[in-house]
Amino acid sequence: MRTLYHPETEQIELQHVFYALSEPIRFTIVLQLMDASELSCGGFELALPKSTLSHHFKVLRESGVIRTRLEGTQRFISLRTMDLESRFPGLLKVIRESAAGNVAHEA
């Protein structure tokens, strides 16, 4: 695991992003990243085995949704906000508003 595959911005495909986000755990991961900018793998509020999380991070990374930065023994994960916004303008807003709407009705 020396090189972590990340697709180029232009290579990110909407169907792959949709696939990645259709899974509840991965959707939760993305929502948490929207509030946190950057988190280590262990920094998420998810009580799941490391191997399970690792699998989901890989799917999100390979679909272009997140970026993984290596630092020491940790991997710092962030949403590819700029890349996603330039590739699919408005998509993140849709996700953000959908999540907000499901929690509470904000004016």
Partner DNA sequence: TCAATAGTTCGAGTGTATTCGAACTATTGA
Partner DNA sequence: TCAATAGTTCGAATACACTCGAACTATTGA
Q: Which of residues 84-103 bind a copy of itself (CB under 8 A)?
A: 88-91, 93-95, 97-98
69 binds, among DNA, a copy of itself, none (CB under 5 to 8 A by kind): none
Nearer to DNA (CB atom), residue 49 or residue 89: 49
According to the binding rule CB under 8 A, does residue 104 interact with a copy of itself?
Answer: no
Q: Which of residues 9-68 bind a copy of itself (CB under 8 A)?
A: 14-16, 18-19, 21-24, 27
Nearer to a copy of itself (CB atom), residue 55 or residue 76: 55
Cα dihedral across residues 57, 61, 67, 71: positive or negative: positive
Beta strands in the chain (DSSP E): 39-40, 66-71, 74-79
Cα(98)–Cα(40) distance, integer angstroms: 25
Beta strands in 21-99 (DSSP E): 39-40, 66-71, 74-79
